[in-house]
Structure 1
């Protein structure tokens, strides 16, 4: 993000493009026209920069998306002790349609999608170099696919997906009413966007999305969909060819001012730019937080019967309350790792187990790679029968240990048909409501079941 500071001063452009694409709002009088904003190659580049900055705000990938998913799916493993009512509604599964945290999440994702769409609508302005045009297109498709994936995971209900917009909006004076597209149509776009990104992005791209960022996200999406062979192939390719490697120790994967060796995609945070809302709610005051709104309970520690596993001790006591807080967020200017290589090992392990294959490595070997880095006792292969050694539950528990407090809880529960806090995986309470502000301004949209 250090390289973005100057370009983000393109303020008028950014202001006119950050309004949510689904909100029926008029562009402010001082905004420049959409035609002018996209008139040159330099302007289109700046829209892409603005899309990254928008996505990295605290309302979404700056932390709110991750901890809201944790609060929805963690059950008794964490507890909300903060004063804000909106996150507490998520914990109790009694969410109101005017929940502001959820509305900001929705609006921010559509603002990012709109900027990505404007870039894609104006690729003809990129005349300097075909490879540069591919890079810009690939990054825009990556961001759009990422945002739609998290929108449909959090707001999709059965066959009802979310509003699907694939054209940028620059004129907010027209009727923007739009109902929800089928879930299948949303996933079709996500998969197409990410595959195109894999095909046209470079193998390395500074801290921006590259070929392996897109392929890693493609692995995550296909795991969610149950497309295990595709997920396995993508995860395996990332492990073998991305050049990333696990950090030498578990703590090295977090609180980094620069991307770590295992970051496949991370949002950049500095003292001048970027936001880390995970710090705000997971950390105490000395580490830049509010004192520790989200605490780790004894129930989470029951996952660690192995005293050698450093992940079972990667916590600290709040200086204010003495409550147990995760050590993953203690640097208020640390980058937010959205996709780590460790996840790819776990995806490859699960998909190989489900398919009874050993592409790249056996499921046992991949689990032990993750456990060895954490100092945990290695799992043993007694009789070369994979199913006797480990199970899907074994891998799920390893995911809970390795990926905790990174926004995975609810999605693993829903895709595996589990329950949380007495609610089945398909319960209405485990899906966010369409924000009331969207219902009020978009008469074509349908609310999720269970919400009035």
Structure 2
């Protein structure tokens, strides 16, 4: 006991002596920074913007679950989830629960990242140059718009389903939330209001963003997202024009092979000349949850069904990213085999498909004829050119080109196609409440002004 006391006293004296010599070591531990001290300088605001991009990497956002869960919800027999996790099973059966943890975390992480963007937007006056202010503001607006567009597509009725100006969308929160009070109990804005906000924000972002910006959002990222939004609305003239702005910039090129978008000889898959915007994944940052579920080298919880494989024409090079396991008689996709593969959210091939469909529906040839754009996609896939074009042909190319990347649910609703209940084989129409995410139960319980979606 005596020796213990002496050691403690010695340690106390030594510690006191060190701190007396250098008060800089006397730092109070903290787990958070007061808001009034967090965003005081230009560097602070730029660091906060990086935090917005980090938010997009969440597994519940573009790290995988937005794409994965929406594809399963829309699936009509192209894939089968054979894993043990209950949430993906609920999605494929079209029986999502109001207390589904994945659906709740997607909502939570989306609004958390939106709040980060709002904090950046509220502090752009502190940026050191006008050019920097313009770029940072444009990036924050792009990030916020990307999230709001997917929130309204997932948690609300489609644009063409009923009356957008009356249908409840998602709450628009456009200023930073710094304290929690009854004022935070916001109601759902209409679908039309959410679309109007994201179009307004992206139009501003496109004007402010630089044409090159490393792997961060650029002017053409904003234009590409606008093209996607206009297509979902059925505003075909605007969709064709926005897609054409990206294509005509000549800053992006189709990869020589379709598989170059996804395949790598290492655990890394960086951006390619085809990528307009991608989520960056590395061993230090981000998680590719699509790798977890789809890859044969991970959980391989998804079997690609013969129905989908049989849709390829003979010689279609895109079929080569699907591998047949003769032992089990199953197909898998190799799109996500790279452990640290960047997740491609917007590619140039999508812009060609948007321009082709929008021009075809509008009867225009902005930038190129629809037939020329579709044949460009087919040529890369090593297929012969078409001589005539139909909407069904465009839809087929889009289905094969963008499969298992999170496009299926929005496309099914745009095309007003049905899907199936895998347990009964019964048809489920495109506007069924079963194809809309529920507003999470914990949000309904916390906010009396939130209205639940029909059917839940």
Shorter-chain TM band: 0.7 to 0.9
Q: Does 1:265 align with 2:270?
A: no
Residues 223-275 of structure 1: CA deviation (Å, up to 9, x unaligned)? 00111101000111111104100000011112462211100000111112111
Distance 1:275 1:83, change over 3 A: same
* Preserved contact between residue 80 and residue 294 of structure 1 (Cα < 8 Å): yes
Deviation, structure 1 residue 108:
1.0
Residues 20-66 of structure 1: CA deviation (Å, up to 9, x unaligned)? xxxxxxxxx94222222222222211111111001111111011111
Correspondence for 2:433 among 415, 428, 435:
428
Correspondence for 1:336 among 338, 343, 363:
343
Distance 1:43 1:84, change over 3 A: same
Deviation, structure 1 residue 302:
2.5
Deviation, structure 1 residue 309:
0.2
Q: Which position in structure 1 is the counterpart of 2:361? A: 354
* Preserved contact between residue 235 and residue 345 of structure 1 (Cα < 8 Å): yes
Deviation, structure 1 residue 284:
1.9
1:161-172 paired onto structure 2 within 5 Å: 161-172=169-180
Which consecutive aligned stretches of 4+ in structure 1 deviate over 6 angstroms post-superposition? none
Correspondence for 2:445 among 434, 437, 440:
440
CA distance in structure 1 between the aligned counterparts of 2:43 and 2:245, rounded to whole angstroms = 34
- The alignment partner of 1:134 has SS state of helix
Q: Which position in structure 1 is the counterpart of 2:413? A: 414
Distance 1:168 1:401, change over 3 A: same
Q: Which position in structure 2 is the counterpart of 1:393? A: 392
- The alignment partner of 1:75 has SS state of coil
1:7-18 paired onto structure 2 within 5 Å: none
Q: Does 1:345 align with 2:352?
A: yes
Q: Which position in structure 2 is the counterpart of 1:186? A: 194
Deviation, structure 1 residue 439:
1.0
CA distance in structure 2 between the aligned counterparts of 1:363 and 1:204, rounded to whole angstroms = 28
Q: Which position in structure 2 is the counterpart of 1:378? A: 385
CA distance in structure 2 between the aligned counterparts of 1:331 and 1:431, rounded to whole angstroms = 31
Q: Which position in structure 2 is the counterpart of 1:277? A: 289
Distance 1:390 1:319, change over 3 A: closer
Deviation, structure 1 residue 74:
2.2
CA distance in structure 1 between the aligned counterparts of 2:413 and 2:446, rounded to whole angstroms = 30
- The alignment partner of 2:337 has SS state of coil
* Preserved contact between residue 33 and residue 170 of structure 1 (Cα < 8 Å): no
Q: Which position in structure 2 is the counterpart of 1:119? A: 120
CA distance in structure 1 between the aligned counterparts of 2:103 and 2:325, rounded to whole angstroms = 27
Q: Which position in structure 1 is the counterpart of 2:136? A: 136
Q: Which position in structure 1 is the counterpart of 2:371? A: 364
CA distance in structure 1 between the aligned counterparts of 2:193 and 2:250, rounded to whole angstroms = 30
CA distance in structure 2 between the aligned counterparts of 1:152 and 1:433, rounded to whole angstroms = 12
* Preserved contact between residue 139 and residue 210 of structure 1 (Cα < 8 Å): yes
Q: Which position in structure 2 is the counterpart of 1:53? A: 54
CA distance in structure 1 between the aligned counterparts of 2:112 and 2:230, rounded to whole angstroms = 25
Distance 1:320 1:82, change over 3 A: farther
Q: Which position in structure 2 is the counterpart of 1:155? A: 155
Q: Count matched residues.
A: 409
Gaps of 5+ in 1: 1-28, 381-388
Distance 1:321 1:54, change over 3 A: farther
CA distance in structure 1 between the aligned counterparts of 2:406 and 2:31, rounded to whole angstroms = 38
CA distance in structure 1 between the aligned counterparts of 2:205 and 2:246, rounded to whole angstroms = 14
Q: Which position in structure 2 is the counterpart of 1:221? A: 229
- The alignment partner of 1:418 has SS state of coil
CA distance in structure 2 between the aligned counterparts of 1:314 and 1:398, rounded to whole angstroms = 15
Correspondence for 1:300 among 288, 291, 308:
308
- The alignment partner of 1:343 has SS state of helix
CA distance in structure 1 between the aligned counterparts of 2:325 and 2:168, rounded to whole angstroms = 42
CA distance in structure 2 between the aligned counterparts of 1:412 and 1:349, rounded to whole angstroms = 15
- The alignment partner of 1:377 has SS state of coil
Q: Which position in structure 2 is the counterpart of 1:204? A: 212
Instruction: Return the index of the structure with the highest Cα Rg.
Output: 2
CA distance in structure 2 between the aligned counterparts of 1:87 and 1:275, rounded to whole angstroms = 18
* Preserved contact between residue 34 and residue 171 of structure 1 (Cα < 8 Å): no
